[in-house]
Structure 1
């Protein structure tokens, strides 16, 4: 698969089929992903790859935590910046509406929307979770490096015929996630990533996710 095809076919998958993921495939992906760029070659990313009974344990624990603290508890960073506005907020709202429309959930169906959100904790049926973290003293440039690593992983997964969904929602319970994953207090939890094979026919995997026009975000000078 060419890089262009991997980019074009990658999307956040929110319904996976019941098919196991081979560990050797993930090892191959992650070995290649170590070539991701990072400032000064710091390579600030760390991850825990979870499946089977261990994933079931974490899933059950976080579901109980979500019942007790549905708005989050122990989050260590803002998933969205305070005061998000303009086209950035418009795009966030639009993709949420498109997702709910795809599965037939009306705006006033609060219970249905909550039920859809709760599927995050089941990794949308994916058999594997990749949980990412880094040392607490790392700054914005290293967080950017961590994002480049995650993007590389997602594209390499596509090359292998696999799919993913990056899930910052787990960070709503950041300190508890570190406890569940046995990550010490010198690190900060970033996000999860569901990994598996997409349900190609599921409406939630097929709604349009538009991108801003290039000329909205790029300026050309000296050409």
Structure 2
């Protein structure tokens, strides 16, 4: 079964959310952590990237670069990362910081809830460090997906370009979902940039941001992660109810 990510959508939310085919794709997308080995043709990935490139970017900078891995190339990357994770994981660190050192209470509670739901769904106790590490290892095999993407950004750019990159990554995942595929964005690949750089011939000016696993889910999706209601994060001014 695929790993959980999205919330179960109740009937009333479904009525509001699924108003169009695009809405359906967005609400049904999830972070899959268990893929089957059904091949994904290069042409399909090319189509996904072809439409994803229309993500907006300030001054049309288009700050993204993607390394597409499959077959032997993906296997070589996985083998190198698995070895590093096993033998010297503490020697590797990402070039950017994903989480704040001290999360405000609202976000801390959500992160803790994710841990409870995610590891609980896998039958892993949160205090079981060994079992959690075994689950983490699956990242580096792209959760069994036939295609893995490594996404980079030019380190000479500013924070606004990271906003652009996020919209591009979302486009990639939605375009995949629209083709009956699922995906999983994985920040953990950024930790091993020193290994990925020579393997993929990544130039020094590019910073490894994340990986994305792409393929067909191995089983029925399980949606566990709740999302905040609109009234929790949106303030409406000047609009009638």
Q: 1:157 aligned to 2:176?
A: yes
Q: 1:21 aligned to 2:40?
A: yes
Match of 1:68 in 2: 87
**What is the distance in 2 between the residues matched to 1:130 and 1:210?**
27
Contact kept, 8 Å, 1:134 with 1:189, in 2: the verdict is yes
Secondary structure of the structure 2 residue equivalent to 1:29 = helix
Q: 1:138 aligned to 2:154?
A: no
**What is the distance in 2 between the residues matched to 1:25 and 1:207?**
26
Give 1:174's match in structure 2, choosing from 193, 213, 217: 193
Shift of 1:74: 4.1
**What is the distance in 2 between the residues matched to 1:32 and 1:160?**
12
Contact kept, 8 Å, 1:168 with 1:192, in 2: the verdict is yes
**What is the distance in 2 between the residues matched to 1:221 and 1:23?**
47
**TM-score scaled to structure 2, two decimals?**
0.87
Give 1:125's match in structure 2, choosing from 103, 125, 144: 144
With over 3 angstroms needed to count, the CA separation of the structure-2 counterparts of 1:107 and 1:75, relative to structure 1, is: closer
Shift of 1:210: 0.5
**What is the distance in 1 between the residues matched to 2:154 and 2:169?**
16
Q: Which runs of 5+ in 2 are unaligned?
A: 1-19
RMSD: 1.4
Match of 1:6 in 2: 25
Give 1:92's match in structure 2, choosing from 108, 111, 119: 111
Residues 158-185 of structure 1, C-alpha deviations (whole Å, 9 max, x = no match): 1100110000011112232222221111
**TM-score scaled to structure 1, two decimals?**
0.94
Q: 1:55 aligned to 2:55?
A: no
Contact kept, 8 Å, 1:44 with 1:145, in 2: the verdict is yes
Shift of 1:216: 1.5
Shift of 1:222: 2.4
Shift of 1:132: 0.5
**What is the distance in 2 between the residues matched to 1:189 and 1:87?**
29
